[in-house]
Chain A
Amino acid sequence: MSNRIDRRFKALAEQHRTALIPFITAGDPEPGWTAGIMHSLVAAGADLLELGVPFSDPAADGPVIQAASERAIAQGVSLVRVLEMVREFRQTDVATPVVLMGYLNPIERYGHAEFARDAEQSGVDGILMVDCPPEEMAHLRGKLDEHGIYPICLIAPTTTPQRMSLIARQGSGYIYYVSFKGITGANRLQETRLEQPIREVRAHCHLPLAVGFGIKGPESAAAVAGLADGVVIGSALIEQLADAESEQQACTRATDFLAPIREAMDNTGL
């Protein structure tokens, strides 16, 4: 089965380009702005969008994304609402893959089958559930498969080779490699130290490899772009959007933030 994620990574590979994957928290800073911000990110060069589903107990998120989630939850953003945002985005963009990133409990509440059905109808291509280990994924995975939605899996620096193989079998679309032991947005990324672990992951997983956590701007994005198939940027972008006063301003900031990163990534190796 092929979905937008496969098609996008295939097209990028043919062009020898690395996917730029911005992450924003759905509904932050204003629920009504999210679809507009997503369009601005695409216009500035995003290849795939990760949309954070706000959750009250985020285990992997640093302070920036936690605060964004809290702001969104305070404005009533639920999983239902996030799917509406994707539907709104899809009215004018049917090509850019959208991955929901979050935690399992809202999906447990929603119901696996109901969620998979509604997510497909909204135009979601993949879900990345931080707290759903591959061993526990079977039931949800079955429902996602019925609707062509990919489970995206994480691999961390602490993942053993045996688990990498298991994760490679369970995951689809791409592997999200967590660049260091820590939380999102921390200042711990050392690009030069990624080479060896990325080689190790690639030996076990043949899916495209996106790297996230701690990538903050053009320089780190370009360095990681030389090693990976995708670069995820979340906290640094969300910081830009947090205090925007209008949708227009949020969209301008998103574009201004992302465009130089795109440029830096495309210039690596030239």
Chain B
Amino acid sequence: MDDDAGQIQHTHSVSAGLDYPGVGPEHAWLKDIGRAEYVGITDEEAMAAFHQLTRLEGILPALESSHAVAYGMQLAAAMRSDQTILINLSGRGDKDVQTVAELEGISL
């Protein structure tokens, strides 16, 4: 996420915790040794997952965690119903209610 001169590029993510142009050393290592696979999720997919989990389970995931939920749903679609997926919800979405309301034009 830097240019040829080593200047860091601007980033965008709907979730503040992901709006950052860096990767921690643990993740970089896990990727390099092939132990973890990393995928991308768009703002829209994350928002849809936020609503889905909230409506179906009454659990508000943080917008960061909503990215994982979105990918979990994509994976699940290709899996058997007796297989299990574990998603770590790294944070709660109460903190993001304002952001979601603003994005969707809801006045609180």
Please give the residue numbers on chain A whose beta carbons come within 8 Å of chain B beta carbons, in ascending order.
Answer: 55-57, 73, 78-80, 105-110
Contacts and interface: CB of A to CB of B under 8 A. Distances in A.
B77 interface: no
B8 A109 contact: no
Interface size class of B (residues with CB under 8 A): under 10
A107 B6 CA distance: 7
B57 interface: no
Given A73-B7, A108-B6, A109-B5, 12 more contacts: A55-B6, A56-B8, A57-B21, A78-B7, A79-B5, A79-B6, A80-B5, A105-B2, A106-B7, A107-B6, A109-B2, A109-B6
A120 B71 CA distance: 50
Interface in B2-44: 2, 4-9, 21
Nearest to B22: A57
Most buried by B among A80, A105, A108: A105
Contacts of B4: 109
Nearest to A78: B5
Task: Pick the 5 closest A-B CB pairs, nearest first.
Answer: A109-B6, A106-B6, A78-B5, A56-B7, A105-B6
Contacts of A73: 7
A109 B4 CA distance: 7
Q: For the complex, would chain A's binding face be called helix, strand, loop or mixed by DSSP majority?
A: helix
Interface of B: 2, 4-9, 21
A78 B3 CA distance: 10
Contacts of B5: 78-80, 106, 109
A57 B11 CA distance: 12
Contacts of B6: 55, 78-79, 105-110
A108 B7 CA distance: 11
A105 B9 CA distance: 12
A108 B9 CA distance: 15
A57 B7 CA distance: 8
A55 B4 CA distance: 13
14 contacts: A56-B9, A57-B21, A78-B5, A79-B5, A80-B5, A105-B6, A105-B7, A105-B8, A106-B6, A107-B6, A108-B6, A109-B2, A109-B6, A110-B6
Contacts of B2: 105, 109
A55 B7 CA distance: 6
A51 B62 CA distance: 43
A57 B5 CA distance: 13
A194 to B, nearest CB: 33
